[in-house]
Structure 1
């Protein structure tokens, strides 16, 4: 279970409502839409889903609307409470809610779920051993041939988006160079595509494909938000084209978020 004083839990307990609102924002919609595109392409059409790092339930609601049986797992009590409220507002019912860390899914047996999402834990588990433990727990609870989407924070994308998101940090050139590697920023872990794929392979999960959540629009947050306000038709075309091309190698390695689709070998 999550330990007392867990800084990730504290952060999300204090920012639960903001996390619910985040995926409604013009640029963050890319992250959500690209994930749903992968779910539509690679998930089974029905079955038991474990949403690990469920947050306030945005993805769970979409999965429930599609007829999946969804169990939500999160380190934050407040996020789970908000997820329960939002799911109820949509006249939906989840299979269950579990407050725990992604590296401890001991409440579940083996081979339980047909598919899973792990979209958040791998960039909040700052210790490599904990990330590998989370991946092995994911593998344990998935059925044979089960499918999952795992998200990592990509430093190669952060070095672009940071120009608008945290420009003051660029006064330190060494900080900029650090983003090209692997490291931690407070409660956030960032990595490179090769290292992320290596961790997944070490946990003996088979990589099916991976995508850059923001596609060719990665690093363009101010421009995308401006376009959404001024030209909604053009904005919608950018969203749809970006998610449809998000698996192309020329774009995916330079995005802030990597969505990695895996299965049980």
Structure 2
């Protein structure tokens, strides 16, 4: 990842910790936890690549897994280590390194791998394939990985309410029908937006069989404003919707057009 991406996460560690608490991102959080619970092995060693401040690592540690946190940002890892210590938990290791350098990890050391973030920021296909292939290398035979991508199709839908002014130029609408490389002035930092077919093929090329895939926001994709309103005005309706969305994230009718595409794969 570039220095631009590293600086973004170094400067926004606390924001990253809090992000999954906001009313809309709560769906992503619950959907991802549900997939982890369903597809990761019941116990063992997990490498959380792109761990950020450790939200998912903490959940795994509390369930008894041995967890290694791997992240580009020293500030994110410092926050993770602090929060983990506050809870009386202990991670196996904290590794501050670029995800393109997964060769520093031991071969076949992990039962499961999470890659929930790094692929958002890698513009070059060769680099993404390298990350995926190394995720396969560090997994034990038959090990499970969960990869997350930003889905351009879902961002197109979200843009109707979040950045519709940009659609005054009709060309900007059609850009979201394909993969995109965004610079720091176009996205929240340097970003890569994919589409489902490309992402699935990259995971296969990296040495995996696809088990399933999901759209984290499910049928609530693009409804950030309305969900935030319901969170404050009708919590029961909000809770019911978010619960249902997290339970249906793998449904074929929803998973192709959400902002966060989650691919569950087994090392082949």
TM over 0.5: yes
Distance, in Å, in 2 between the alignment partners of 1:102 and 1:10 is 15
Match of 2:254 in 1: 251
Residue equivalent to 2:38: 41
For 1:166, which of 154, 163, 170 is the aligned residue?
163
After TM superposition, the structure 1 = structure 2 runs for residues 178-189 of structure 1, keeping only pairs within 5 Å, are: 178-186=175-183, 187-189=190-192
**What is residue 200 of structure 1 aligned with on the other side?**
203
Q: CA shift at 1:97, angstroms?
A: 0.4
Partner of 2:187: none
Q: Secondary structure at the match of 2:58?
A: helix
Q: CA deviation at 1:231?
A: 1.1
CA deviations over 1:86-145 (Å, ceiling 9, x no partner): 111111111110011112112221100000110001111111111001001100000001
SS of the aligned residue for 1:106 comes to helix
Q: Please state whether the residue corresponding to 1:60 is helix, strand or coil.
A: helix
Matched, 1:233 2:226: no
Gaps of 5+ in 1: none
CA-CA distance at 1:51 after TM superposition: 0.2
Q: What's the counterpart of residue 94 of structure 1?
A: 91
Q: CA deviation at 1:243?
A: 1.0
**How much has 1:163 moved relative to structure 2?**
2.2
Could you list the structure 1 runs, at least 4 aligned residues long, displaced by more than 4 angstroms after superposition.
none
Separation in structure 1 between the aligned mates of residue 78 and residue 163 of structure 2, nearest angstrom: 31
Choose the corresponding residue for 1:224, options 224, 227, 249. 227
Give, in whole Å, the separation in 1 of the partners of 2:235 and 2:89.
31
Q: What secondary structure is seen at the aligned counterpart in 2 of 1:104?
A: helix
**CA distance in 2 between partners of 1:135 and 1:53 (Å):** 13
Report the equivalent of 1:146: 143
One of 21, 42, 53 as aligned partner of 2:18: 21
Per-residue CA deviation, residues 18-49 of structure 1 (Å, 9 max, x unaligned), is 11110010100111110000011111111000
> If the length of structure 2 is used for normalisation, what is the TM-score?
0.95
Aligned match of 1:59 in 40, 43, 56? 56
Distance 1:165 1:54 in 2: 27
| Alpha-carbon distance in structure 1 between the residues aligned to 2:209 and 2:250 | 17
Which 5+ residue runs of structure 2 have no aligned equivalent?
Answer: 184-189
In 2, the alpha carbon distance for the partners of 1:133 and 1:20 equals 28
Aligned to 1:128: 125
**TM-score, with normalisation over the residues of structure 1?**
0.96
**Displacement of 1:167 after TM fit?**
2.6
How far did 1:9 drift? 0.4
Deviation at 1:81, TM superposition (A): 0.7
Give distance in 1, aligned partners of 2:54 and 2:230.
Answer: 27
Q: Which residue of 2 aligns with 1:260?
A: 263
Per-residue deviation, 1:259: 0.6
Task: Output the CA distance in 2 between the equivalents of 1:158 and 1:231.
Answer: 26
Matches of 2:231 and 2:181, distance apart in 1: 32
**CA distance in structure 2 between the partners assigned to 1:179 and 1:123 by the alignment:** 15
After TM superposition, give the deviation of residue 165 of structure 1 in Å.
2.5
